């Protein structure tokens, strides 16, 4: 592996790490949406009168937040695995082509 390819892979690791930070932030936003949905649902059920609109909105927000958080979590898991693979390739001196065809030792 030549110096230019090492620099390119290092830059790729930095960019993916920044992207993982943004995804983690969005996962937090999705969990906040879910908590807000639970609070709206609770307000619709325990208010002075039963408010079906609040109940539906609360359930919708809670479900959307949870599904979003699960998708973002999957992206984080796969992204971290990808960064680990690139770092291992940098340590072992494998080229990108060798990583794609999954040669032994790379």
Distances (CA, A) of 27 to 9, 15, 38, 44: 26, 18, 17, 26
Number of Cβ within a 10 Å radius of residue 76: 17
Helix (H) or strand (E) holding 98: helix 96-100
Predicted TM-score (pTM) of this structure: 0.79
pLDDT tens column, 22-62:
999 999 999 999 999 999 999 999 987 889 999 999 999 99
What does the domain layout of the chain look like in residue ranges? 3-100
């Amino acid at each position: 592996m030549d110096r230019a390819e090492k620099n390119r892979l290092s830059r790729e690791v930095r960019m993916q790490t920044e992207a993982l930070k943004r995804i983690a932030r969005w996962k937090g936003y999705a969990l906040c949406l879910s908590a807000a949905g639970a609070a709206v649902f609770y307000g619709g059920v325990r208010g002075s009168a039963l408010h079906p609109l609040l109940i539906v909105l609360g359930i919708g927000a809670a479900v959307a937040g949870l599904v979003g958080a699960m998708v973002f979590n999957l992206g984080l898991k796969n992204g971290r695995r990808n960064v680990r693979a690139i770092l291992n390739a940098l340590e072992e001196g494998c080229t990108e082509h060798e990583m794609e065809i999954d040669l032994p030792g790379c």
